[in-house]
Amino acid sequence: MKDRRILLFPVLVLFGAFLLDKLFFVGNLEHYFLTTASFKNYEHKVEMLDELEEYLQRKDRKKVMVILGNSRTMPFSNEYIAETYPQWVLFNFSVPGGTSDYYLYILEQFQRKALKPERVFLAVTPQGMNKQARVSLDEVMITGLPAGFVTRHASHYSLNDLSNYIAKKTFLVYQYRPKLWVIQDRMKEGQIEQFQTFLGLLEDALRKERGSVPVKAEEGVVDSEERMEIYARSMWKDFFVPFELSDDQLYFTRRCLDILNDLDVPSYLLWVRVSENLRTRIDTEPANVGLRPAAEPKTVRQIWEPVMRDMASRHNAGFLDMNFESDFPCDQFTDASHLSAACFDEFTDYLMQVEP
């Protein structure tokens, strides 16, 4: 009997650790160590589903354009849309790091609620579909996807992804990893209030702008060719080489297009413009080097673009290439792959001019 009680010790330790973990999130205690506010974007997108459902039922409503994207499609201006295209409104479901699995989660809600906007754009990027990327980002899966979705599509996540998801959802301290220097800084006079004010302002802005994040046009624009080259070289190394398409992200993208076809909603895969430094590498530099089995050297564009075009064609969707098949007039960036907010009026014009 005593030996059996000993076996309970690990269970009790685990349970105690679980309870201790939750104490860090009583009230607003987490505001003392959070280093990001991106969770507000994810929370708001779920909230905005109800707003979209209600708006689509209005008899006096305008045409609705929906964007499912990432940080490359967040700073649209509703003011510009209202002034220039008064017959349209934008509901922006873009989130930081957004990938096709998150788009599918949102579109499954569209399917369940029978939401039928006039247009849906899915922002797709080769780096978001690279199975071999050296920098692995789990923010979308951990912050944006509920357990039910992950369970339904578990066969399209790796064992490492699933174990990481379970660990971080079980122990929130492991997910957010509080740092002593952050806590010390937040405890200084006025710092915690400043962070909480920022969270409130972001939440208000997301609601007002229907998911877009207002950014000053001149903010963060890279005006040095040397700096831009450094950004492009770093991004290329972290996200593009070696390059191998992820079958799982392709699956999620196909399912998105299947749902939009079932709803009879016009859809488009959108390849958002990146800087010339990065475009040149995507178009000319071999990116499948070092993979097994050895294959003929191909560029990212040769590997990725034909698959995207074929997928779009098979699903009655458009493929919009802002990099190699567009005379897009604005060429300002905040880094190698993010258009400046100064370009988003032209970006809006580009989307509005797409043939239905």
**Secondary structure of residue 268 in the 3-state scheme:** strand
Which CATH number is associated with domain 2-352? 3.40.50.1110
pLDDT band per the 50, 70, 90 thresholds, residue 5: low
What is the model's pLDDT at position 12? 47
pLDDT band per the 50, 70, 90 thresholds, residue 39: confident
* Residue 353, C-beta contacts closer than 8 angstroms, at least 6 positions apart: none
Of 65-69, 170-174, 203-207, 314-318, the one with minimum mean pLDDT is 170-174
* Whether residue 281 has pLDDT greater than 70: yes
* Whether residue 215 has pLDDT greater than 90: no
Print burial letters for 284-314: b (CB count within 10 Å at least 16), e (below 16).
ebebbeeeeeeeeeebbbbbbbeebeebbee
- In this prediction, what percent of the chain has a pLDDT beyond 70? 85
pLDDT band per the 50, 70, 90 thresholds, residue 33: low
Q: Can you name the residues that pair with 268 across neighbouring β-strands?
A: 121, 318
This prediction's pTM: 0.88
Please give the single-letter amino acid code of residue 129. Answer: M
- Residue 38's φ and ψ, nearest 5 degrees, are -65, -25
Of 15-29, 83-97, 197-211, 253-267, the one with minimum mean pLDDT is 15-29
Centre a 10 Å sphere on the Cβ of residue 35 and count the other Cβ atoms it contains: 10
Peptide bond connecting 126 to the previous residue in cis, omega within 30 degrees of 0: no
Please tell me the distance from the alpha carbon of residue 63 to that of residue 56, in angstroms, as a whole number.
9
- Extents of the domains making up the chain: 2-352
Please tell me the distance from the alpha carbon of residue 173 to that of residue 25, in angstroms, as a whole number.
9
pLDDT band per the 50, 70, 90 thresholds, residue 171: low
